[in-house]
Structure 1
Amino acid sequence: MSDDYADVRTGIVGLGNIGRYHADRLVDLGVPLAGGMDIDAEARASFTDHYDAAVYDDYHDLYDDVDAVVITTPNKFHEEYAVAALERGLHVLLEKPLAHTIESARRIADAASTAEGTFRIGFNNRFLNAVQHIRNRIENGELGEVTHVEANYVRRRGVPGRGTWFTRKEISGGGALIDLGVHAIDLSMYLLGYPDVKEVSGVTRSEFGGRDDYAYLKMWGPDSGPGTFDVDDSASAFVRCAGDRTISLETAWATNRPATHEFVVRGTEAAARFDLKDGDLTIHSAGSDGQDHLLDTAVEMRENDTHTDEQRAFFDAITTSRDIGGGIDEAMTVQRIVDAIYRSSEGGGTVTLGDAET
């Protein structure tokens, strides 16, 4: 625990699984958990029993008693809660994605651009030790010019509960792409240095979630059948950025292949391949000194809790005013890429993003 954050009274908006996941880590970090808000009475009762914290059914009352909020509600409600918090001058950590639509995302961005408080989006995977190690190697020039990222975030059967808000487009804004794909897009852009995006081409598919014979195993929620499933369960995309830097993306909740969370970061001097789930990291290079050779170097990393490190960076930014990245500009770039993939899939072609959009 730390006393560094003892003056930042923090609330949770949305007291479901991810809200409690954040609350556990706030307590471990020594952040004062000032309360939580949810419209569901059962969620409020469970939260206050577990954390001995105040609970509210109206976010205005919570906002009166806190300095910062972590927002973990379904995507459709991000705008209402985030904009109100930003207009109150609160610090905001908003779980990904930024919003369920590009229009809603823009309204959050407008509020964040003039807000006094710190705003960060919940791209926790960039805090993985393996990712930070690669980023350090890139900054030191060890990979040369990084030109392409192969990004895979693929489950075999992992729809997060058919019938939950995740599988209803009106509330979620999309399926696997907006749920898992945003992580892969942010990581790829982060390792490329967030260059300007020029063109996006992609296809989203719904091949498994609407089937009566979907093989449900175990995920975030219960399986209620295909009746309300109206989102994508996989996406393939290609993103072209300034300087001919590119991203190839594969993301899926369900597909007939082994699950993979492998990323390959290709540079002119070396490449890095890592697994997002188990942290395995290998550096691939070649040499001509002595005898020509190929070199594969395994790098063993200490495991870390990415949500804890994300929260630590967020509260460090609040208490020191240090820029940690992951702010509104990067969040909007990810949202625009997601929106462009959906538009490309619907229109059957490449979407060009102008300077005003990127």
Structure 2
Amino acid sequence: MALKIGLVGAGSMAQYHIAGYRRAGAEIAAVADRCGERGRALARELGAAYFPDLTSMLASGKADAVAILAPNRFHAPMTLEALAAGVHVFCEKPPAVTAAEAVAMRDAARRSGRILMFNLNNRARADVRAIVDFLKQGKAGRVNSAQAVWMRRTGIPGFGGWFTNRELAGGGPLIDLLHMIDLALCFLGEPEPDCVLAQTFDDFISNPDFKGPWGVAQPGGVTDVENACHGFVRFRTGQVLTLRCSWAEMIRSEEVSVAFQGTKAGGMLRRTFEVDGDESTTEDLCELYWQRGAEPVNREIEFVKDESMGRVESAENFIRVLKGEDEPLNTPDDAVWLMKIIDAAYRSAAAGAPVFVERT
């Protein structure tokens, strides 16, 4: 019998989830969305039941697992509600809006005995998997340092909508574009953060000249998040990470990359855009670097470009994990470390000083 999935949210991200779940043999059995017209339309298209909210969906018993596709502020409460009801959860990024929420979600999953995963979809990309395989074989040695970059020139999403509202989103590009930070943590081996120093900037957050193609604008709405964040993380292992995240900064065009340096080899994944957000203008690079004696060796890894940036494969992985056919691409512990870094970066920027991260 096919696993039955409930979608909580019928926005644009649903298409990737649907494709991944179906490819893994699951059934989309229910759709919940507070926007009745949008939710009913998707439910009709899928032949699924419609519900106005998560609570009524859970009460119906129609879903073995739910996908949380709601704005950031609802990730933790909805996940906790679903786990308490005994269903598995696949939650969109970011895991939560605070580290404390991420810890509560992890602990609830442990208590319930249910699977909790997050759509940190870039981990599913073919180029990322190639790098992970290289690292698992020990060919890079000890990875000492990494650099995570997701920067845009004109990429502020939905002026005045939930993306630019701290209460709903938890922050700006640091929390929205966290994928490269997540990949850097993966390449570093998921070390425990010790100290974070960061600075945020909001020079352009209210300037419509820097608007991107994402999100739904609400004229006169709130714009109280950063447009850029730069920071440095030291881990208890002695490893380090630098991060650069922006929706709007004076750069040539959008860049999405993560690089790492090990004692035996280093590497880089990079996607650049000639025009911010225009997939047709992208250029992808995946390279490894090492020494053969005094001779530098650079090797380019060939891979099939994934236009969804791993979104479909990530959703498919969730179902395969539930069926016992695959290992999870991420764990609740991974999400906790990620959110602790983001939390500490915001606190460091507010305090104008380094922030030490408490152990959990």
Say yes or no: TM over 0.5.
Answer: yes
2:359 maps to 1:352: no
Separation (CA, whole Å) in 2 of partners of 1:354 and 1:170: 24
The answer on whether the counterparts of 2:123 and 2:329 sit within 8 Å (CA) in structure 1 is no
Residue of 315, 318, 323 corresponding to 1:319? 323
User: Contact between 2:103 and 2:336, CA under 8 Å: does it hold in 1?
Assistant: yes
Counterpart residue number, 2:296 = 294
TM-fit CA distance, 1:201 = 0.8
Deviation track 1:179-203 (CA, whole Å, cap 9, x = no partner) reads: 10x2122111111111121111111
In 2, Cα distance between equivalents of 1:254 and 1:226: 20
**Cα separation, partners in 2 of 1:103 and 1:195, compared to 1, 3 Å:** closer
Q: Given the alignment of the two structures, is residue 108 of structure 1 paired with residue 102 of structure 2, yes or no?
A: no
Does residue 53 of the first structure (1) align with residue 48 of the second (2)? yes
Change (3 A) 1:139 1:104: closer
Matched, 1:253 2:241: no
Matches within 5 A, 1:1-358: 6-63=1-58, 64-180=61-177, 182-211=178-207, 214-216=209-211, 218-224=212-218, 227-258=221-252, 259-276=254-271, 278-288=283-293, 292-304=294-306, 305=308, 306-320=310-324, 323-356=327-360
Q: Name segments (4+ residues, structure 1) moved above 6 Å.
A: none
Report if the CA contact (8 A) 1:287-1:294 is conserved.
yes
Deviations 1:175-234 (A, max 9, x none): 111110x212211111111112111111111121212x5243x42234445751111111
After TM superposition, the score normalised by the length of structure 1 is 0.91
Q: Summarize deviations over 1:69-102 as a string: whole Å, max 9, x none.
A: 1101001111221111101111100111121233
Distance 1:226 1:267, change over 3 A: farther
Identity %: 28
Shift of 1:37: 0.2
TM-fit CA distance, 1:132: 1.1
Contact 1:151 1:264 in 2 (8 A): yes
Count of matched residue positions in the alignment of Structure 1 and Structure 2: 345
Paired position in structure 2 for 1:3:
none
Report the Cα distance in structure 2 between the residues aligned to 1:226 and 1:16, rounded to whole angstroms. Answer: 23
Q: Residues 25-53 of structure 1: CA distance to partner in whole angstroms, max 9, x if unpaired?
A: 32343310101101111221321233232
1:287 Cα deviation after fit: 2.2
Q: Is the 8 A contact 2:317 2:326 kept in 1?
A: no
**Aligned partners of 1:252, 1:338: CA distance in 2, in Å?**
14
* Letter of the 1:199 counterpart: C
Normalised by the length of structure 2, the TM-score is: 0.90
| Rounded Cα–Cα distance in structure 2 between residues aligned with 1:96 and 1:281 | 24
**Contact between 1:59 and 1:81, CA under 8 Å: does it hold in 2?**
yes
Asked if the contact 2:20–2:314 (Cα under 8 Å) also holds between the matched residues in 1, the reply is no
Q: Is the 8 A contact 1:130 1:274 kept in 2?
A: yes
Q: CA deviation at 1:235?
A: 0.6
Q: Which runs of 5+ in 1 are unaligned?
A: 1-5
Structure 1 range deviating more: 114-123 or 19-28: 19-28
State the 1:244 CA deviation. Answer: 1.5
Could you say if the C-alpha distance between residues 334 and 325 of structure 1 is closer, same or farther in structure 2, counting changes exceeding 3 Å? same
CA contact (8 A) 1:15 1:44 kept: yes
Q: Distance in 1 between matches of 2:197 and 2:64?
A: 41
Q: Which runs of 5+ in 2 are unaligned?
A: 273-282
Separation in 2, partners of 1:227, 1:44: 24
Could you tell me how far apart the structure 2 residues matched to 1:150 and 1:226 are?
Answer: 36
Counterpart contact for 2:210–2:248, Cα < 8 Å: no
Rounded to whole Å, the distance in 2 between the matches of 1:79 and 1:299 is 38
1:5-36 per-residue CA deviation (whole Å, 9 max, x = no partner) reads x5210010011111233223323433101011
